[in-house]
Amino acid sequence: MTVLKHRTRPENWSFVRKRAKYPWMVPFYGVEWALQWIAYLLSGWAFLEVLEYLGTLSLLLAVISYFSESRDRLKQKHYQAWQVINSAQSKGGSGGRIDALEELHADGVPLVGVDVSDAFLQGINLSGADLLRANFSAADVRGGDFSKSRLEFADLSSANFRGANFRSADLRKASLEDADLNGADLSHSDLEGANLSKTDLRTADLGNCRWEKISDIKLANILGIKNAPPGFEKWALEHGAVSVESDSDWQALISK
């Protein structure tokens, strides 16, 4: 903002002093009159005007520099996020991976082939993410959001996805063997070629899912599934699925 401007010459002190109605007001008028003279003298100083222009120019250059380097800053941010993810591979706990994965996804970075096996990722939001061939094996992803995500050929075996959202997710050829999908939302998902053997599907929502070409469902527990597509339960039981309430009874069948 421009603060330097040309000013008119201040009035003589005799005129200014007459405006003070009371004697105690004279010092205040005097200070104001002195400051007016200082401002008047400085307003004609070219050096200050040059400094003002330089300040404005430096601000403009800073803005240009900030935007010109924005791509480099974004690359550095993504590099650091990948470092967090890769350095924690096959380790338990979160290790900052929830934030790193969500930030990369929010910036539109594909998460193809990401390895977060054994990680604690409870409540992660990767809705619409590209997770082709991702490895979530043995991870704790309870309550995670994978709606509309691409999970083709993903390894989700032995992972805990209780209450997770896979609505409209692409799970073609994905391995869900021994995964816990109790209470998960699989409605409108594509399960073509998916391996659901020994998967816990109890109370899962399978409404309008594409199930006809599931590759394996042997010993999967389908007790209490919701919105089962027509013919699914009969087909599943004929292909080795079970409907058992007790965990111990189910494990006994698996151990045979």
For residue 8, what is the enclosing H or E element?
none
Cα–Cα distance for residue pair 21/14, rounded to 1 Å: 14
For the record, the structure tokens of 61 come out as 């250059």
Contacts of 250 (CB under 8 A, 6+ apart): 221, 242, 244
At 23, is the pLDDT very low, low, confident or very high (cuts 50, 70, 90)?
Answer: confident
For the record, the structure tokens of 64 come out as 């240009």
At 68, is the pLDDT very low, low, confident or very high (cuts 50, 70, 90)?
Answer: low
pLDDT at residue 10, rounded to an integer:
77
For the record, the structure tokens of 184 come out as 């998960």
CATH of 91-256, one of 3.40.50.1100, 2.160.20.80, 3.40.50.150, 3.50.50.60: 2.160.20.80
For the stretch 122-157, pLDDT in tens is: 999 999 999 999 999 999 999 999 999 999 999 999
Cα–Cα distance for residue pair 223/242, rounded to 1 Å: 7
pTM confidence score: 0.73
Residue 9: DSSP 8-state: P
Amino acid identity of 181?
Answer: L
Q: How would you class 173 by CB atoms within 10 Å of its CB: exposed for 0-12, middle for 13-18, buried for 19 or more? A: middle
The owner of tokens 């309008």 is 208
Cα distances (Å, whole numbers) of residue 91 to 85, 97, 134: 10, 11, 16
Contacts of 19 (CB under 8 A, 6+ apart): 29
For the record, the structure tokens of 225 come out as 């599934």
Q: Is residue 75 helix, strand or coil?
A: helix
For the stretch 39-51, pLDDT in tens is: 776 766 666 666 6
According to DSSP, the residues that pair with 140 across neighbouring strands are 120, 160
**pLDDT for residue 1 is more than 60:** no
Amino acid identity of 144?
Answer: G
Cα–Cα distance for residue pair 42/38, rounded to 1 Å: 6
Sorted by where each begins, the domain ranges of the chain are 15-68, 91-256
Q: How would you class 60 by CB atoms within 10 Å of its CB: exposed for 0-12, middle for 13-18, buried for 19 or more? A: exposed
Cα–Cα distance for residue pair 239/256, rounded to 1 Å: 17
